[in-house]
Structure 1
Amino acid sequence: MAEAYPAYEDRPRRRGRKVLIGFVVLLLVLAGLLAVADRVAAGVAERAIADQVRQQVAKQDVQSAPPKVDVGGFPFLTQVIAGRYQHISIVLTDVQGSVQGDAVRVPRLDVDARNVTASLDTLRSGRGDVIAESVDGRATVAYDSLAKMLDRPGLTLGERDGKLTVTAPADILGVKLTVHGTADLAVANGKVALRFNELTAEGLPNLPLAKTLLANYARSISVKVPLPALPFQLSVRKVEPRPEGLVVTADAQHVPINSAG
């Protein structure tokens, strides 16, 4: 009979372990449900903001594929209660606008909005402002759109070793040549200044006049190209050639990222 007591004494311990395990499992299940609910709520907000962004872009006479919005930060529900969101990313693709009557194609525009203020009522009703403390944008302008603005038939632009390159047909002193070269880039007042200063042409006549005409051609395509108006009051800070196009970096402070209702 003495041997039965230890087994009897272990029963409360086993029950205690089972209760503890059950409690832990319950906590895990609740945490999972809260995480799912959090992401579902974030998805609702993302769709609401995407719809308002679409309306704002349309107001600027710009066309694009439906915007993709991602609300960052966890947990989301606490951000809803506070009415302040850590990070919202917006991606616009197939953006098309116009500059001085010329169509400009922007394959992709990435926007990162930080410290965004939006009330629950604004997200629910679509009325009111969604204000971002800071916005950073990165747009890719297609080379074919940029070349069209230079209005030189046959001229093509591209990138090599981090430099903007040009290839174009030219007629110099009756000789049909293909001109190659690179350009320096600068940004001023929403325009990109292209300065072609290293043009060469194989077969160019070795005459001072021919070299002068080639230099004149370089000056004729060294122009300031206006960029399409970017949404969210973005101001261009830097441009750099990449294989996919001319990449424009822009930013803004304290701006609405939706269309005010």
Structure 2
Amino acid sequence: MRGLLIALVVILAVLVGVDFGARWIAEDRVAVALQDALDLPNPPEVDVRGFPFLTQALDGRYDDVGLSAPGIAYGELRDLTLTADLSGVSLPLEDLVDARVERIPAERVTASARVNPTDLARLLDVGELTIEPLTADDLERLRSEAEADDSGASGSARALADVDPASSVRLTSSTTVGGQSIDVAVIASFRLSGGRITLQARDIRTEGGEGAVGQVAAQALRQRLSGFSTSVDPGRLPFAITATELRAEDGVLVVSGTARDVDLLDPPGA
């Protein structure tokens, strides 16, 4: 009896190992096909979820697949991180076995493109840039600070009066005023319109600037406020995704959308 149990455990371990090995091979072949079709600098990470894998492979249908591809260029952006969740993916087993992946139909694709701060810094022509989401409490505190500071170094309460925290961010960077490097914070509203990401600077303040020095810097910076606004075309995203949502999340701007009944190997714009 003990020998039978040991044999069953060994067989189970072998089957699990075979399942994971087959999954790895399939993910690798799909990644290579996607890299070639979408002209990506590196193979994306492909995650075929669900266990066991072999039953899905025999059926040729996968209902939960994840993709992740960092450092890709689309439109005016050069450092997008693309993530996608796929369902209803069809891929015959013989295509995987023969390494002949020419079509990957999917019933539904939900994708997000993360706009990294390095891209925004390049477009705004500023140094290192950080992006932080805003809450209603943050805005109330900023308005109070602006009202209490007559120098203007803490920004303008009037400029922040109608800012919606749900569609606004705080951008922090550095710039040069009078030959000196000044740390600045810009409150900017963002929106998605006509497929373009629009960033509108609403207020600017010096970080740590007080008194006469802060006042001079604030006056100079206010004349440059429009320089922290931009409109970005992220281009036609892969998988025929139409961008429908824009949000701030974890220090980046995220544009996302959904597509149905697409071939994952069709190039953007096809």
TM-score (norm 2): 0.69
Q: Secondary structure at the match of 1:135?
A: strand
For residues 145-160 of structure 1, what are the structure 2 equivalents within 5 Å?
145-150=119-124, 152=125, 154=126, 157-160=129-132
Equivalent residue pairs, number: 225
> Hey, what does 2:201 align to over in structure 1?
196
Counterpart code for 1:99: G
| Residues 210-247 of structure 1, C-alpha deviations (whole Å, 9 max, x = no match) | 69x93x64345433211144322233233333454333
Question: Which range moved further: 136-145 or 46-55?
Answer: 136-145
Question: RMSD of aligned C-alpha atoms?
Answer: 3.2
CA deviation profile, 1:78-106 (whole Å, cap 9, x unmatched):
1112110122222212x242535xx6222
Give the whole-Å Cα distance in 2 for the aligned partners of 1:126 and 1:39. Answer: 21
The CA deviation at 1:38 is 1.2
1:191-212, CA deviations, whole angstroms, 9 ceiling, x for partnerless residues? 111111122466446xxxx69x
- What are the residue-to-residue correspondences of 1:1-261 with 2, within 5 Å? 18=1, 21-58=2-39, 63-93=40-70, 95-97=71-73, 99=75, 104-106=78-80, 108-123=81-96, 124-150=98-124, 152=125, 154=126, 157-162=129-134, 163-167=169-173, 169=175, 180-200=185-205, 203-204=214-215, 214=222, 217-219=224-226, 221-242=228-249, 244-258=251-265
Whole-Å separation in 1 of the counterparts to 2:83 and 2:194: 21
> Is the Cα contact below 8 Å between 1:109 and 1:139 reproduced in 2?
yes
Secondary structure at the residue paired with 2:41? Answer: coil
Cα gap change, 1:65 to 1:175, in 2 (>3 Å): closer
Segments of structure 2 that go 5 or more residues without pairing to the other structure are 135-168
Identity %: 25
- TM-score scaled by structure 1? 0.71
User: 1:160 is aligned with what amino acid?
Assistant: E
- Segments of 5+ residues of structure 1 without an aligned counterpart are 1-17
- Structure 1 runs of 4+ with >6 Å offset: 174-177
- Contact kept in structure 1, 2:29 and 2:101, CA below 8 Å: no
- Aligned CA distance change for structure 1 residues 223 and 177 (closer, same or farther; 3 Å): same
Bigger Cα Rg: 1
Q: 2: distance between equivalents of 1:167 and 1:22?
A: 68
